[in-house]
């Protein structure tokens, strides 16, 4: 059942309160130091003191004043942060009190408020096997709240994940260099080429969201399965020890493949499961980034 406007606004407010608290107390320093500005800009001139870099002497001011003055610079702090957020049906899964979608939404909100509090522009791209919504990067709380509302009302039932399409769209839309967080369960076909292209242009960070139950074989007994290529059907014992071993090793192998794709593209990667302390994990990520 769809939420009413009043219910959406109340939930947005609850998410804002929790996310702002986490952002204000834990991420302010780590976020700022992890993501540097785009360069240095002129700030002011001041009198030269011993040890200053002589290359920064302002000869025009020095000539007029009859004393030596140097130019000082400060970091251009403004950044653009984009959140590429998977809203496909596979995120509506959970074996505990928290679905992957809820866990992802909370992380996205914390990242958005961290960027906003540092006066950076924040935007988002919501995707499934198509582009669901695009929120252009802008400064301020208003855009963050819009992002959260879009996530709450997104409805991509029966839709799969197409990371290649999302990354291609992002590459075309975002002309200037930015920081991009890709939040997904990465249940998608090969996306290595668009990831590599985006990573050459932007600072890409993948955050994979899984559920602890996904790493454990379902144990449903005998089930009928069909080979998608040949159409041949057969019975599979999902409760057997050999199936459980194969299933769990396949899950770990997929996670290793995702991590390897990001590493090859010189992009960062973080794998989380619902219930994990994402605050600690993100702080660690930010510290490694700085």
For residue 79, pLDDT beyond 90: no
Give residue 165's domain range. Answer: 5-32+77-210+264-289
The more confidently predicted of residues 237 and 27 is 237
Same domain as 27, residue 70: no
**Is residue 146 a part of any domain in this protein?**
yes
Same domain as 118, residue 133: yes
**Is residue 285 a part of any domain in this protein?**
yes
- Measure the CA–CA gap between 110 and 289, rounded to whole angstroms: 18
pTM summary value: 0.77
Same domain as 204, residue 97: yes
**Quick one: CA torsion of 176, 181, 184, 188, rounded to 10 degrees?**
40
Same domain as 179, residue 48: no
Burial of 91 (0-12, 13-18, 19+ CB in 10 A): buried
Looking at every residue in the chain, the average pLDDT score rounds to 84
Say how many domains are in the chain. Answer: 2
- Measure the CA–CA gap between 141 and 145, rounded to whole angstroms: 6
**Reported confidence tier of residue 228, pLDDT bands at 50, 70, 90:** very low
Same domain as 109, residue 67: no
> By C-alpha distance, which of 103, 84, 106, 85 is closest to 93?
103
- Measure the CA–CA gap between 72 and 66, rounded to whole angstroms: 19
Same domain as 50, residue 19: no
> By C-alpha distance, which of 89, 79, 256, 82 is closest to 183?
82
What the block records as the tokens of 198 is: 């985006």
Please write the tens of the pLDDT for every residue from 168-212. 999 999 988 999 999 999 999 889 999 999 999 999 999 999 998
* Torsion sign, CA atoms 101, 106, 107, 109: positive
The answer to whether 122 touches 31, Cβ cutoff 8 Å, is no
Segment 234-258 shows an average pLDDT of: 83
pLDDT for 238: 77
Please write the tens of the pLDDT for every residue from 85-117. 999 999 988 877 788 999 999 999 989 988 888
* Torsion sign, CA atoms 31, 90, 192, 254: positive
**Is residue 253 a part of any domain in this protein?**
no
Please write the tens of the pLDDT for every residue from 26-44. 555 566 566 655 555 455 7
For residue 3, pLDDT beyond 80: no
Name the E strands within 30-186: 40-47, 69-75, 80-86, 121-127, 131-138, 179-184
For residue 227, pLDDT beyond 60: no
Same domain as 284, residue 186: yes
- Measure the CA–CA gap between 230 and 241, rounded to whole angstroms: 27
Same domain as 170, residue 63: no
| Domain at 151, CATH number | 3.40.50.410
**Reported confidence tier of residue 229, pLDDT bands at 50, 70, 90:** very low
The answer to whether 281 touches 287, Cβ cutoff 8 Å, is no
The more confidently predicted of residues 42 and 47 is 47
> By C-alpha distance, which of 165, 275, 277, 126 is closest to 214?
275
């Amino acid at each position: 059942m769809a939420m009413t406007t009043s219910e959406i606004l109340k939930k947005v407010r609850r998410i804002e309160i929790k996310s702002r608290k986490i952002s204000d107390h834990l991420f302010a320093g780590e976020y700022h130091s992890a993501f540097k500005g785009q360069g240095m800009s002129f700030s002011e001139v001041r009198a030269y003191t011993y040890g200053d870099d002589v290359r920064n002497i302002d000869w025009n001011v020095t000539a007029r004043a009859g004393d030596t003055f140097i130019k000082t610079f400060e970091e251009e702090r403004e950044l653009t942060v984009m959140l590429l957020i998977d809203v496909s049906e596979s995120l509506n899964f959970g074996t505990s009190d928290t679905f992957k979608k809820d866990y992802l939404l909370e992380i996205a909100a914390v990242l958005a408020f961290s960027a906003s509090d540092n006066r950076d522009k924040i935007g988002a791209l919501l995707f499934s096997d198509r582009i669901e919504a695009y929120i252009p990067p802008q400064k301020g709380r208003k855009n963050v709240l819009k992002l959260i509302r879009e996530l709450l009302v997104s409805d991509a039932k029966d839709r799969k994940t197409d990371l290649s399409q999302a990354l291609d769209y992002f590459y075309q839309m975002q002309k200037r260099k930015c920081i991009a967080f890709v939040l997904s369960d990465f249940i998608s076909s090969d996306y290595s080429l668009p990831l590599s292209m985006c990573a050459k242009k932007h600072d890409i960070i993948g955050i994979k969201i899984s559920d602890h139950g996904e790493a454990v074989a379902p144990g449903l007994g005998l089930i009928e399965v069909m080979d998608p290529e040949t159409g041949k059907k057969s019975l599979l014992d999902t409760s057997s020890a050999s199936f459980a071993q194969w299933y769990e090793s396949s899950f770990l192998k997929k996670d290793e493949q995702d991590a390897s794709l990001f590493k090859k593209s010189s992009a960062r990667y973080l794998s989380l499961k619902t219930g994990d302390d994402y605050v600690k994990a993100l702080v660690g990520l930010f510290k490694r980034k700085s």
